[in-house]
Amino acid sequence: MNSNQSLINELIRNGYLKTAGIIRAFERVDRIDFVPYEWQDQAYQNYPLLIGYGQTISQPATVAFMLELLQPKRGDKILDVGSGSGWQTALLSDIVGEQGQVIGLEINDHLIELGQSNLKKYGFHQASIVKGNGWQGLPGQAPFDKIIVAAAGAFVPWPLKQQLKINGCLVIPVGQGIQDILVIERDSEVDFTEQNYPGFVFVPLINNRDK
C-alpha cells in the first residue's frame, strides 16, 4: 500500500471500516501526517509504528475497529486517553465536528508537543491535547459522551467509568499479554453493560506511580 486511499480500501474490504462518518475521517486525516519522518515510507502499512518514548501509533485496523465500536457522533464530547502523535485525536475531531469537543490526554511531555504540532496541520479548533494520567481521566472536564483508550491496563480504571455520561460508552483494552478490547456502556449511575473482543496487543497504560 502506498497511499492513504489504498489503506482505506483495505480496511473497508476486510470489514474494519463500515460507518460513513468514520470512513470520511480516514479520508480527510492522513496517517502520514502523524508518523515520524523516518517511518513515513511505511505510513500506509497496516501495522503499528514507533513514535518514540516507548510508544507507537496504533495499527490502522485496530484504530478503525475501536472507532467502529465507539461510534462517535457529530457533537460528541470525547476523551482520547493516550493520544500519542495525535492521529486518533484528529480522526475523532473530524467526526465530532465544530459542535463537538475532543480532548487528548497524554502523560509524556514530548508526545504532547508532538501531538499538538500534528493537530495544527488540520486546524481543528474543537481538539486539544493536555497532560494527565490516563488512570485518573480528566474529572475537571467530565462527563463525556465517549472515552477511548489507546493503551492497556490490568483492569478498567474506575474513574474512567465514573466520567461517562449516562448512555455513554468507554472502549478500552484490558489485560496482560494478549488483551481484550472492552466496550462498556453506562446504563445508569450504578449500572454498566460490558462486551469484550479478545486477541489484541497494546502498549501499557502508564500510571504516574510507575515512573
Q: What is the CATH number of the domain that holds 85?
A: 3.40.50.150
User: How high is the pLDDT of residue 176?
Assistant: 86
Residue 104 lies in a domain: yes
User: How high is the pLDDT of residue 86?
Assistant: 97
- pLDDT tens per residue, range 60-90: 999 999 999 999 999 999 999 999 999 999 9
Residue 32 lies in a domain: no
User: How high is the pLDDT of residue 208?
Assistant: 56
58 is catalytic: yes
Residue 103 lies in a domain: yes
Give the pLDDT band of residue 211 (cuts 50, 70, 90): very low
Catalytic pick among 3, 58, 128, 188:
58
CA gap 26, 41 in Å, rounded: 18
Residue 115 lies in a domain: yes
Task: Determine the average pLDDT of the residues in 122-129.
Answer: 95
Residue 116 lies in a domain: yes
User: How high is the pLDDT of residue 210?
Assistant: 43
Residue 195 lies in a domain: yes
Q: Structural domain tally of the chain? A: 1
Range of the domain at 105: 61-210
User: How high is the pLDDT of residue 145?
Assistant: 98
Residue 136 lies in a domain: yes
User: How high is the pLDDT of residue 121?
Assistant: 95
Strands 192-200, 179-186: parallel, antiparallel or unpaired by DSSP?
antiparallel
Residue 125 lies in a domain: yes
Task: Determine the average pLDDT of the residues in 160-167.
Answer: 98
CA distances from residue 60 to 67, 112, 145, 167 in whole angstroms, order as listed: 11, 21, 23, 27
Task: Determine the average pLDDT of the residues in 31-35.
Answer: 97
User: How high is the pLDDT of residue 177?
Assistant: 86
The answer, yes or no, to whether residue 142 has pLDDT greater than 70, is: yes
Cβ neighbours of 112 (radius 10 Å)? 20
